[in-house]
Each structure stands twice: as C-alpha cells, then as structure tokens.
Structure 1
Amino acid sequence: MENKNNSQKEDTVAAIGIGAMIVFIALILVAAVAAAVIIQTAEKLQQNAQKTGDDTAKQSTSRFMVNAGSEDAANDYMLFVKLAPGSTAVADTDVVVQLYCGTQSDTVDSNNHVFYDMDDVNGAAQATVSPGAGYAFVVTPNNCGAGTVTMWIHIEGSGSTYQVLEVSGTAGQPII
C-alpha cells in the first residue's frame, strides 16, 4: 500500500518577511515626518534668534553713554556724552530728551538742547553727533528743579539711554 500524504504544509517564512518589510517602511515614514518637524522647528527658532539679535544690536549700539554731568549757573544740565561703541552718526534732530521729576515731566526736543563738540574751543553747535567723539549736551529743563530727576535720551528709530540725575540746585555741582 502506498501512503499518500494529501495535507498541505503552510509556508510561514514569506509572511514573516513581508510583515518585517511593512514595519521597516512604516519606521522610515515616521522618521521622515519627525525629521521634517525638527527641521521646521529649528528653522523657525533660527529666524526668531536672528530677528532678536538684530533688534538687540540696534538697541544697544545707537545710544548715548553719559560720562559726567553738572548743573550750570542757569540751572541747565550740562552732560558729557559719547555714542556707544558701534553706533552710527546721529542727527541732533533725531534726539528727544524726557525728564521726570516728582509729578512733573518735561519732553525736550531738538529746539531746547544743543550739542557742542568738546574739542571745539569756539563751542560751535554740531548738527550731527559722530561716534568716537565726546560732546557736551546742554538740557534746559522747564519744570524740574532740585531733587532726583530721571532722564531718558531717545534716538529716533534706535536706542534709548536711562540716567538718574541728583540735582542740588547749585551751579557746578555734579549731578551724576
């Protein structure tokens, strides 16, 4: 008698290979999506950092550094200033000074202050403030007298300088 085996054997090796290939392709797709999200996030962060850096450089360079100051006989504030390193030239019409003293405040525009080049023995008024040179900056307050005066020097479209002045009301006394 002859034995015949009519049962079929199932071949599971190919099914396991196809399943592994599907999992591998899925992992590649997930990795590609994750990489795209990471690249987009990094690009957005770089753009924000660049804008912040540009804004910070603009704010920190084009501003005044106040080196000293005193009150003159007319009760004007004589301040010795320079532009911060890296600044560009500034027209005196682009400068606005704000003074706060107690409950009083002054906004002094370019008509109420004059720049004098410290090296100019004739005291000739300067229309442009250049980097690297020192200037005597005269501010004539309208409402402020003796006491603590908070001063802001703003450069239009650029930075600002904050300075607290201690005004005694006596000519020649330091106020910074």
Structure 2
Amino acid sequence: MQYRKNSKIDEINNDWGSIGIGAMIVFIALILVAAVASAVIIQTGEKLQQNAQQTGSDTQEEIGGKINIITMWVGQQTDCDADGANGDACITLVYELAAGSEPMLEAQVVWTISCTDNAGTGLDTVYGLFDGDITGGGAASPNANGDGTADTTRMHLDTRNVDGLVKNIDNNGAAAGVGAGGENDDDTLQPGQVYMIDLKTSGDANDVNTAGNAVAGECDPILNEQHTLTILVEGGGSTYEKLSYTSVTEGESIV
C-alpha cells in the first residue's frame, strides 16, 4: 500500500517536471523569437533612418542647388557681345540661387535653349556656361574672361551684377579681363545676390572655338514661337522655363 502511494507521488512529480521543462522550453523559445524580432526591428529602423537621411540630402541638393529665374526679356539683337561683329543676338536672364543653396562657381552652371530649326522639321540647340567672355573683351581673346582660363568658345557671355556691371574682385578701376591691367573676374555666385547674364541665341564671325571652328546652332527670338530653356547645376538641381515670344522687340518679357 505504501509502495503504491509512493509510486503515485513519483508519477505526479514526473508530470510536474515534464510540465516545468516544457514551460522552460517555451520560455526560451519566446526569448529567442523576441531577440530575433528585436534585431529585425532595429535593423529596419536603421535602414529607414539611412533612407530618410539620404532622401533629405537628395531633396536639399535638388531644391537648394538650383537657379531661380526672376525675369527674362528679349536682349540686344545685333552684336550683343560688343565684339564688333554683327549677326549675334541675345536674350537677357535675371536670376538668383535658390533658397538653401551654397556658393557655387559660374562654371558649374550650364544653360541650353532648344527650338524648332529653320526648316521646321527638327530641333536646334544653343548652350553655354554662366562663366564666359566679358562683353567687349575683344574678338577671340585667349583669356577674355580674366580668370586665367583660356576660352573654348565665345558663345557664352559672363554673369554680371544685376546693375549690369562686371563682377570684379580687384576693384582697381580697370575693365575686367580687358588688357594686361584688367581686373580678375569674380567667378563665384553667392546666395542672396541677384545676377544678370546675356544668353547668346546665335553666333557671329568671332564665335569660334580654340580649333577655329565656328559655333553652330541658332535659336533667335521668333514671333509667336516657344523655346525651352534648361539650366543645370553640376551636382544640384535643374530649372526649366518656356520662353514665349509674343513680341521680339528688345526689352519685351518672354517669361
């Protein structure tokens, strides 16, 4: 009788032991699952944070590093680069750097104008930099923009202050980039400043590259036509504008 009682107690103890071991296994399994879940959540959170930081950086670059167009009009339609050769024409752009932009070099900004060609069957383009030749710097000068870099084409003119004056850094009273005593051209664009530049829509006899080849392309203002201006900033954003020529009279607004 005593033996049966002890045997019953042993069975009960074994049952409780099995239950305890099972509970321990379940507990350990839950801990492992929680650890794995925590690792996944942490990894996902870090990835989302990295993506958010990259997106923020890309957005800042796209929005901040670009050009804001203030106004544009039909510029001088004969010898607009003042080099003595007729045949070239310009449109005038007034612009500033977008909010949040860092200072940038004029040479980092590229502009392109596209239009229907004279035959009306295809597209024509003209393009240049915001760093170019000083107006009146002379024909095909090897360093007409005064910054020590030889010009590759006379198709692009230089950025000026909004009052039309050349951006100088020496302030010695000489004309920038013209002659041996010319001032050094200021090639930096600063946030908060307003600038002006003439964009040549066609070239003249002096518009040649260092190999002596004439600059091709023509997108002169044509009444009732629309041309497309694209401004690209190296490492930054892009600006697009439709140029509407409801008039081709000098000084008429085109945006």
Amino acid paired to 2:219: C
CA contact (8 A) 1:108 1:141 kept: no
The answer for the alignment partner of 2:226 in structure 1 is: 148
The within-5 A match list for 1:23-172 is 23-74=26-77, 75-102=89-116, 103-109=123-129, 110-111=131-132, 112-119=156-163, 123-125=165-167, 126-142=186-202, 143-145=218-220, 146=222, 147-167=225-245, 168-172=247-251
Q: Displacement, 1:5? A: 5.1
TM-score (norm 2): 0.62
Aligned equivalents of 1:46, 1:129: Cα separation in 2: 33
Partner of 1:173: 252
Aligned length: 171
In the alignment, the residues of structure 2 paired with residue 5 and residue 91 of structure 1 have an alpha-carbon distance, to the nearest angstrom, of: 101
TM-score, normalised via structure 1 length: 0.88
Equivalent-residue separation in structure 2 for 1:94 and 1:139 (angstroms): 16
Q: Which amino acid aligns with 1:104?
A: D
CA distance in 1, matches of 2:104, 2:241: 19
The answer to whether the aligner puts 1:16 opposite 2:22 as a matched pair is no
Percent identity between the two aligned chains: 39
RMSD: 1.7
Q: Work out whether residues 118 and 135 of structure 1, in 8 Å CA contact, stay in contact via their aligned partners in 2.
A: yes
- The AA in structure 1 aligned to 2:126 is D
Deviations 1:77-99 (A, max 9, x none): 11110111121222222221011
List 4+ stretches of structure 1 deviating above 6 A.
Answer: none
Task: Please list every run of 5 or more consecutive structure 2 residues that lacks an aligned counterpart in the other structure.
Answer: 78-88, 117-122, 133-155, 168-185, 203-217
Structure 1 residue runs without a partner (length 5+): none
C-alpha separation in 2, matches of 1:154 and 1:46: 29
Residues 37-86 of structure 1: CA deviation (Å, up to 9, x unaligned): 11111111111111121121112112111011100231411111011112
CA distance in 2, matches of 1:86, 1:16: 66
For 1:34 and 1:66, the matched residues in 2 are separated by 51
Match of 2:175 in 1: none
1:114 partner SS: coil
Whose strand fraction is larger, Structure 1's or Structure 2's?
1
